Structure 1
Amino acid sequence: MAERYSSFTPGGTMWLLQRITAAFLIVVLAFHFFLLHFVNHADEVSFIVSAARMETLSYYSLMILFLVTATFHGVNGVYNALINQGLTGRKKQAVKTTLIVASVVLIVQGVRTANAWAGGVPL
């Protein structure tokens, strides 16, 4: 029988954060589909309506939290998948550094975009 291997330590912090972010993403995606596909139909969604929604602090905050959570969840999952495939040594460190830098760039640009969309001054 195949041996189960995971780079996550069961019950560890990263293991727990991966599960918490997954649960959060499921809820936020359900909210997104409900709001943008059932409450408002595709022909009713416009840039102006979306910008007005982003001007609401609760919606803006939810979208920023969604951005950070999705970035962490995705990058953490990719990193651990690569570890599970046997990535070690200098390659492991290079991949980790690259993923961290890419995450920071993605989050900074996402916040800049959200700020501009919400009518604020982009960073």
Structure 2
Amino acid sequence: MAEHYSSFTEGGRLWLWQRITAAFLVVVLAFHFFLLHFVYHADEVTFGLSAARMQTWTYYSLMVLFLITATFHGVNGVYNALINQGLTGTKRQVVKWTLVVASGILLVQGIRTANAWAGIGVF
């Protein structure tokens, strides 16, 4: 019988968060697909209309939460896939911190972009 192996630690929360974020992403992606492919058609989607949607707190909050969730889900999945392939030692630490820094940059720039579209000035 094949041996089961997972990089997630037994009793750890990352496994659970990977599943929770997956479920959230399925729902938000369905909403996104419905809104931008059935409610509005491709020729109706404009920068101004997108900016107007971002100016409502519910849509803005959903998109920022979507960014955070997708970033966590993607980075956690890639990192654990690499661990499952045998990544260990110094390479593991380098990959981990590279992904952490890349995630931070992605989140900062994504939130800055969302704020600009929503007309929110931070500085």
Please report the TM-score for the alignment, with normalisation by the length of structure 2: 0.95
For structure 2, the 5+ residue unaligned runs are none
**Aligned CA-pair RMSD:** 1.2
- Taking the aligned partners of 1:22 and 1:6, their CA distance within structure 2 comes to 17
- The match for 2:86 is 86
> Deviation per CA, 1:25-83, whole angstroms, max 9, x where unpaired?
00000000011101111111100000000000000000000000000000000000010
- Taking the aligned partners of 1:73 and 1:10, their CA distance within structure 2 comes to 19
For structure 1, the 5+ residue unaligned runs are none
AA matched with 1:95: V
- Taking the aligned partners of 1:122 and 1:2, their CA distance within structure 2 comes to 54
**Identical-residue share of aligned pairs (%):** 77
Which stretch of structure 1 is more off in the superposition, 37-46 or 105-114? 37-46
AA matched with 1:51: A
* Structure-to-structure mapping, 1:1-123, within 5 angstroms: 1-121=1-121
Which stretch of structure 1 is more off in the superposition, 60-69 or 2-11? 2-11
Give structure 1 regions of 4+ aligned residues with deviation exceeding 2 angstroms: 9-12
Please report the TM-score for the alignment, with normalisation by the length of structure 1: 0.95
- Taking the aligned partners of 2:34 and 2:86, their CA distance within structure 1 comes to 40
